[in-house]
Amino acid sequence: MKFIKSLTVAVCAAAFLLSTSGAMAESCCVKAKAGGKDCSHKCCVAARAEKKVCDKCQADASCCDKAIAAAKACAHPCCVAATKDKKVCEKCNPKKKDDKKA
């Protein structure tokens, strides 16, 4: 039983590390959109005005980021369903890993 307990602790620790070390799962803009708002970051507002994605916050632009840039809602069924639930589609806005761009 001791082994199982320490294993559980290890798994929990790994999950914790994963959730904190990884960058945000979705951009601020996608998150704001899920809440029915537009992202209020100055950089994002400026980018949207030019129908672009924000280089800073949406560097790894997902389908939803691109849709926001085009002032549209993403048409993917999975994203539409997620938006209805006021959530971000986790399939199209996956957690990013910090070491990806290194």
Nearer to Zn ion, 14 or 55 (CB): 55
Nearer to Zn ion, 25 or 63 (CB): 63
CB–CB of 65/78 below 8 Å?
Answer: no
> Residue 25 interacts with Zn ion (CB under 5 A)?
no
> Residue 56 interacts with Zn ion (CB under 5 A)?
yes
Nearer to Zn ion, 15 or 23 (CB): 23
> Residue 34 interacts with Zn ion (CB under 5 A)?
no
> Residue 64 interacts with Zn ion (CB under 5 A)?
yes
Compute the least distance from the CB of residue 42 to Zn ion, in Å.
Answer: 8
CB–CB of 95/17 below 8 Å?
Answer: no
For residues 88 and 59, what is the distance between their CA atoms, to the nearest angstrom? Answer: 17
3 state SS for 32-88: HHHCCCCCCCHHHHHHHHCCCCCCCCCCCCCHHHHHHHCCCCCCCHHHHHHHHCCCC
Site of interaction with Zn ion (CB under 5 A): 28-29, 39, 41, 43-44, 54, 56-57, 63-64, 74, 76, 78-79, 89, 91-92
